[in-house]
Structure 1
Amino acid sequence: MKKEFKEAIEDSPIIAAIKDDEGLKKCLTSESRVIFILYGDICNIPDIVETVKSSGKIAMVHIDLIAGLSSKEIAVDFIQKYTRADGIITTKPALIKRAKELGLYTILRLFVIDSMAYSNIEHQLRTAKPDLIEVLPALMPKVLAKVCKLSTVPVIAGGLVSDKEDVMALLQAGVVSISSTNEKIWFL
């Protein structure tokens, strides 16, 4: 993982995750150095990324959520060629591999909904080799503490975080950052 990205994640325990244009405007005034872009389509994603980048923030595109892109490696090529995104977020290990080949930062998003999903984490890490993983839902500090111990890369927690108490419990569990679409969390 490149030094700038690692420092931005470590220095910014809260990552603003945006899901609409209103969130885009608000995130620019937050202290979050890293922005997760969770919306857009092939026509407007270059502009959304440019807005984030022009404010001096790191733009991570959740490629699975961009309308008009397929789940094939060519979608990563599109993001790399037609936007200035710093990296991608995805649930697909093959897209992580392609993004790494293109020099993009990578975050593998994992949904830990049961023991089978939990036991599959090590395999996913070995296969995809992402820079970071994001575990959802976040409100499982005990489980996240175990994930942090077994993970070979830093862990981000996301989903359902609603207050400072949640944030503190997650940081104590060992996650490096918390991603949230909840604007109140961005300004803690």
Structure 2
Amino acid sequence: MDRKYYDAIESNPVVAAVKDMEGLLKCCELEDIRVVFILFGDICTIRDIVNKVKDTGRMAMVHIDLITGLGSKEVAVDYIKQYTEADGIITTKPALIRRGRELSLCTVLRYFLIDSMALENIRNQQHTVKPDFIEVLPGLMPKVIGQICQISRTPIIAGGLLNDKEDVMNVLSAGVIAVSSTNQDVWQM
């Protein structure tokens, strides 16, 4: 992993996850936000969305699964690399993580913790897929997230349903490097 990505996330453990232009503009006004997870857009707008983030000196991570018009094949990662200035990608698909690493993009492998099989997937895939970060959702399970932090060599980001300072402090205490949230109140903690 390029140390600059780790340092950017570690310098402020709150990552702004944006799902619309209003949220994007708001997070770009906040001085402390260093990393932005882009959760919206399409193949016609993603370049401009990324540029808005980059123009403010922040790191732009595109959730490639959520960009309308991009498929689930590796060529989608090539598109992000070639046609945007994104620093990296977020995805639930291990093949896209591998391609992102080949293209020297920062990679975040997102997992939804719905059952013990999902937990086992994290345990097994972290060694074969080797993302730069793992994001686990929902973040409201500090005990389970703490277990993941203990078994993982990959830095963990918790996201989803974190609404207040207590939620954030609980998962940070469990061992995550950062939290991601679309909740604008959390961005200002």
Superposition TM-score, scaled by structure 2 size: 0.98
| Per-residue Cα deviation, 1:23-79 (whole angstroms, up to 9, x for no partner) | 010010221100000000000000000000000000000000000000000000000
Q: Secondary structure at the match of 2:107?
A: strand
Counterpart in the other structure of 1:143: 144
Q: Which portions of structure 1, spanning 4 or more consecutive aligned residues, are displaced by more than 4 angstroms?
A: none
Offset, 1:142: 0.2
SS at match of 1:69: coil
SS at match of 1:108: strand
Note the C-alpha offset of 1:127: 2.2
Structure 1 residue runs of 5 or longer lacking an equivalent are none
Name the structure 1 match of 2:5.
5
Give the root-mean-square deviation of aligned CA atoms: 0.6
Q: Which whole-Å CA distance do the structure 2 matches of 1:120 and 1:73 have between them?
A: 21
Q: Which runs of 5+ in 2 are unaligned?
A: none
Match of 2:124 in 1: 123
**Counterpart position of 1:67:** 68
- Residue 179 of structure 2 is matched in structure 1 by 178
Query: Following superposition of structure 1 onto structure 2, how do residues 52-131 of structure 1 map, counting pairs within 5 Å?
Result: 52-131=53-132
Distance in 2, matches of 1:64 and 1:138, equals: 20
Query: Counterparts of 2:13 and 2:104 in 1: how far apart (Å)?
Result: 24
Equivalents in 1 of 2:66, 2:129: separation in Å?
19
**Identity between Structure 1 and Structure 2 (%):** 61
1:23 — aligned with what? 23
CA distance in 2, matches of 1:109, 1:84: 21
SS at the partner of 1:152? coil
